[in-house]
Chains A and B, each alone.
Chain A
Amino acid sequence: MEALVFVERMGRHGEVAERHALYKLPARIGRNYQSDVILDDIHVASEHIEIRSTEDGGLEIEDLGSINGTYLRGEVSRIQTRPIKDDEIYRIGQTQLRIRLPSHIVPQEIAIANQSLVRNSLVFVGAMLICVATLYIGVYVKTFGTDTSKLFMLPANFTIALLAWAGMWALVNRILHGRGNYVAHGNVIFVGITALLWVEVVTNYVDFMFDLDVPFSLWVFCEAIVIAVTIYAHLRLTTRTSRFVRVGVSLFVSGILSALIYGLPLVEEEDKIGLQSYNIAIKPSVFLFSKGVTPEEFIDSANQLKAEVDEYANQTVR
């Protein structure tokens, strides 16, 4: 015997919680035990709706005079009778129902995406350890005392903050899609922060090795890109919007964050020598490949500086 129609009760996250096949029409849905589909929702009437075939061969539903009525999901006007469509969801009481025919066509099979790395717990632990190690080394090389016992404090605190950050994204994921994805979000943030730290290290070493003037703005630009990629990865895990929107949002947020992190100190310290006005990377001399200049050439290059400050002064005075 072939089913004539399927009644599906929808779960909270848009999934099908129960599916009932009906073999005869008309059929009734309600709370009483004579119903063809019995619902336990106390806001549903004993006999709430009836499904029947119409003269032109289609199906329709009719409200059988319930107190709370029948609605299309998301709409405010009650339905009395209505022809059934495959993708419409009805709300009766606090229950959501979808009614489909056996002839319903399902979309094509989707290949399983290879996301194993980003969701892999071992990768997560590895990323976290690399991040902690990078932080620790960063603190260690800037400490010149004999006592190194308290150096772990900063990496530890920072790691706790990052774990909490991953937790917040996981919570958002859970609210929107019903699963947390903690490992994936943790991977994203630890890899992102590690990249951010290494961009700084690499820029400083390159600056020293070749005696370059890596402009501060270029460095901030690199950091901003890393931040944007990190935010994009979080958004990709949590939202189903188009790529265009995600790129836009992550660039915007990264722009604001970079301005706050790197721009504010710049405004505050504008007149001090040594913070952002020049990059004085000093590394062990084995890394130095540049030939260097003579004192004469170095002092002569100040003509350029003179031109800069003269121009600024003349503009200001005017």
Chain B
Amino acid sequence: MTKTLRESEFDVSKLLAGWSGLLRRCLFLSLLSAHGLSYAVASPAEVSSQNKPSLQAQRIFEAVRPSVIQVQTLPISSDSPSSYGTGFAVGANNLIVTNYHVVSSVVMDPERYRLEFIHQDGRKGSLSIVAIDVVNDLAVVRGETGPIRGLMIDESVPEKGARGFSIGFPENQGITVTEGIINGLSEDSVRGAIHFTGPINSGMSGGPAVNSSGQVFGINVSHLRDSQMISFVVPSRFAIPLVEKAQKIGSSTAKDIFKELNQQLKSNSSQTLELFPQESLPVQRLGQFEAPARPGDFARCFADNEKEADKLYAIEVAGCNFKDQTYVNKDLYLGGWAFSYSHITAPDLGAIRFASLQEAMMHVTDDTSAANRLHKTHWSCRDNVVNSSGTRTKSVLCLRRYLRFETLYDIELKMATIDNSGETLVTNLSLTGFAYPESMAFSKRFMEAISWKP
């Protein structure tokens, strides 16, 4: 962090870019720790050294392998897959459980992608999506697999320290089993992913994680952090209602699935905001100001400060962001929020220069997702002087909508207090992919929680 600051010495905008970079990095880490990043596409570099399977592993592998298939995503017009994943049969209805991210291209672009399965005995065929759970990264698909034995599901979370086995198709290595230790529920996730120390390679995503009696306790999610393989597993209790739902509805059109995705993202965004304390937001002190602080375990927060000898101002930075953004498609994560503060003190700058420093702070933008441009409208913004508790702020509110998700919006709120020249609190709140009325109500709560208390 300090390095980022030192590198950008000359003007304030570079300094601020450094901070926004920091914020982005924290956001990025939160993505990683949720339900995996960059998952579906297997790259040759990630093929790991195999743990030599124990006798128990071999026994379990033999029992489970007939129920496991490779799930391939292919462009409509091609026979070469664009990405791989794994799936496994449950029940007797040829229903296959896999990760949502393994089939996300087909959910988002059914006109450009299709799904196929390959069984380890050579059977091949097409797959269609029946039900999805984008928030928990699960999907149920159906295919003409012929007779395939369904695996037993154990919905309890195994004890810490228990042995677990993860089965799947890493890259194109053929079906593989890896052995590891289950470390209970991960503390880095809101929804309760199981922390598993065995190697799960990309391509094994969607495969079953089984306990020593051969029952499925979770679904593999491969995960890279700082180029170290850390594996998480989605607890199987989330899969049970989804499988039941799939049994009930039987089949779904691509349109239904997309509508369902829309609906799930919308209700998830509302639930995310309901995690905040309902009465009043907890606050922290920043100089003479009070502003919303860490709202709960679901937020990851940071703070730092910097005063350089050749600058006439000092900045204290703080902020929080949400741990569990939802992966929707390549480069598209929704349901995340972040707020950050820059508390600036500059007693010797003079009123006019201080005002233009505030102006410069307001110009900072975090929007780097050029890849997302296709998904969204342009920003539409308005600015006003707003009378908050005890202080006036110059505030800007910006809004844009997702083109394909009719109920989801991005909201950016920037505020700078203007009454005290010499000290200011610049606040940035951003909500990515939220429903309109809820996010507006939240923005208002957030705004009202900022106050001047000398």
Q: Does B332 contact A (CB under 8 A)?
A: no
Nearest residue (CB) in B for A281 is B359
Within 8 A of A (CB), among B307-348: 309-313, 346
B312-A292 in contact (CB<8A) = no
Given contacts A213-B382, A316-B403, contact A285 B418 (CB under 8 A): yes
Q: How far is the CB of A202 from chain B (nearest CB, A)?
A: 15
Complex alpha-carbon distance, A133 and B363, angstroms: 26
B444-A144 in contact (CB<8A) = no
Complex alpha-carbon distance, A172 and B169, angstroms: 77
Choice from A146, A211, A272, A302 contacting B311 with Cβ under 8 Å: A146
Chain A positions 223 through 257: 1 when the CB is less than 8 Å from some CB of chain B, otherwise 0? 00000000000000000000000000000000000
B128 — which chain A residues lie within 8 A by C-beta?
A: none
A102 — which chain B residues lie within 8 A by C-beta?
A: none
Q: Does B395 contact A (CB under 8 A)?
A: yes
Given contacts A283-B355, A302-B397, contact A292 B392 (CB under 8 A): yes
Q: Does A295 contact B (CB under 8 A)?
A: yes
B362-A280 in contact (CB<8A) = yes
B386-A292 in contact (CB<8A) = yes
B386-A308 in contact (CB<8A) = no
Choice from A280, A290, A304 contacting B363 with Cβ under 8 Å: A280
Interface segment, one of B101-109, B179-187, B372-380:
B372-380
B120 — which chain A residues lie within 8 A by C-beta?
A: none
B380-A295 in contact (CB<8A) = no
Q: Does B423 contact A (CB under 8 A)?
A: no
A284 — which chain B residues lie within 8 A by C-beta?
A: 351-352, 354-355, 421
Within 8 A of A (CB), among B364-413: 364-365, 367, 370, 373, 376-388, 392, 394-404, 406, 409, 412
Q: How far is the CB of A296 from chain B (nearest CB, A)?
A: 6
Nearest residue (CB) in A for B346 is A144
Q: How far is the CB of B31 from chain A (nearest CB, A)?
A: 21
B364-A274 in contact (CB<8A) = yes
B416 — which chain A residues lie within 8 A by C-beta?
A: 282
Nearest residue (CB) in B for A277 is B381
Within 8 A of B (CB), among A256-298: 270-275, 277-286, 288, 290-296, 298
Q: Does A76 contact B (CB under 8 A)?
A: no
Nearest residue (CB) in A for B358 is A282
Q: How far is the CB of A314 from chain B (nearest CB, A)?
A: 9
Complex alpha-carbon distance, A305 and B400, angstroms: 8
Q: How far is the CB of A305 from chain B (nearest CB, A)?
A: 4
Q: Does A142 contact B (CB under 8 A)?
A: yes
B379-A271 in contact (CB<8A) = yes
B362 — which chain A residues lie within 8 A by C-beta?
A: 274, 280, 282
Complex alpha-carbon distance, A144 and B352, angstroms: 11
A141-B385 in contact (CB<8A) = no
Given contacts A213-B383, A272-B367, contact A141 B412 (CB under 8 A): no
Given contacts A274-B363, A282-B418, contact A292 B353 (CB under 8 A): no
Q: Does A41 contact B (CB under 8 A)?
A: no
Range of interface residues on chain A?
35 or more
B440-A142 in contact (CB<8A) = no
Complex alpha-carbon distance, A205 and B196, angstroms: 59
Interface centre among A211, A298, A308 (most CB of B within 10 A): A298
A293-B385 in contact (CB<8A) = yes
Complex alpha-carbon distance, A295 and B380, angstroms: 18
B384-A313 in contact (CB<8A) = no
Q: Does A310 contact B (CB under 8 A)?
A: yes
Complex alpha-carbon distance, A302 and B442, angstroms: 13
Complex alpha-carbon distance, A80 and B444, angstroms: 95
Q: Does A94 contact B (CB under 8 A)?
A: no
A140 — which chain B residues lie within 8 A by C-beta?
A: 353
Q: Does A317 contact B (CB under 8 A)?
A: yes
Given contacts A142-B360, A273-B365, A277-B380, contact A306 B409 (CB under 8 A): yes
Q: Does B152 contact A (CB under 8 A)?
A: no
Q: Does A113 contact B (CB under 8 A)?
A: no
A305-B403 in contact (CB<8A) = no
B377-A309 in contact (CB<8A) = yes
B356-A282 in contact (CB<8A) = yes
Range of interface residues on chain B?
35 or more
A305-B378 in contact (CB<8A) = no
Complex alpha-carbon distance, A286 and B392, angstroms: 12
B409 — which chain A residues lie within 8 A by C-beta?
A: 306, 309
Q: Does B265 contact A (CB under 8 A)?
A: no
B395 — which chain A residues lie within 8 A by C-beta?
A: 298
B403-A313 in contact (CB<8A) = yes
B367 — which chain A residues lie within 8 A by C-beta?
A: 271-273
Q: Does B306 contact A (CB under 8 A)?
A: no
Complex alpha-carbon distance, A279 and B418, angstroms: 16
Q: Does B447 contact A (CB under 8 A)?
A: yes
Complex alpha-carbon distance, A304 and B385, angstroms: 17
B365 — which chain A residues lie within 8 A by C-beta?
A: 272-274
B373 — which chain A residues lie within 8 A by C-beta?
A: 271
Q: Does A147 contact B (CB under 8 A)?
A: yes
B310-A141 in contact (CB<8A) = no
Q: Does B283 contact A (CB under 8 A)?
A: no
Nearest residue (CB) in A for B381 is A278
Given contacts A146-B312, A282-B394, contact A273 B381 (CB under 8 A): yes
Within 8 A of A (CB), among B161-191: none
Complex alpha-carbon distance, A309 and B414, angstroms: 19
Given contacts A141-B352, A141-B356, contact A301 B398 (CB under 8 A): no
Nearest residue (CB) in B for A304 is B382
A285-B387 in contact (CB<8A) = no
Nearest residue (CB) in A for B372 is A271
Q: How far is the CB of A74 from chain B (nearest CB, A)?
A: 58
Q: How far is the CB of A68 from chain B (nearest CB, A)?
A: 69
Choice from A142, A295, A312 contacting B377 with Cβ under 8 Å: A312
Q: Does B256 contact A (CB under 8 A)?
A: no
A271 — which chain B residues lie within 8 A by C-beta?
A: 367, 370, 373, 376, 378-379
B376 — which chain A residues lie within 8 A by C-beta?
A: 271
Nearest residue (CB) in A for B445 is A295
Q: Does A299 contact B (CB under 8 A)?
A: yes
Within 8 A of B (CB), among A194-220: 211, 213
Q: How far is the CB of B403 from chain A (nearest CB, A)?
A: 5
B418-A295 in contact (CB<8A) = no
Given contacts A282-B416, A292-B384, A298-B386, 15 further A-B contacts (CB under 8 A): A141-B352, A144-B12, A144-B311, A273-B398, A277-B380, A278-B381, A282-B359, A285-B419, A288-B392, A292-B392, A293-B384, A295-B444, A298-B395, A299-B440, A313-B377
15 contacts between A and B (CB under 8 A): A140-B353, A144-B346, A277-B381, A278-B382, A278-B398, A280-B363, A282-B362, A285-B421, A293-B386, A294-B386, A295-B386, A295-B444, A302-B397, A302-B399, A306-B436
Residues of B within 8 A of A (CB): 11-12, 309-313, 346, 349, 351-360, 362-365, 367, 370, 373, 376-388, 392, 394-404, 406, 409, 412, 414, 416, 418-419, 421, 436, 440, 443-444, 447-448
The 9 closest A-B pairs by CB, nearest first: A292-B385, A284-B351, A278-B381, A305-B399, A295-B447, A299-B444, A309-B401, A308-B380, A305-B380
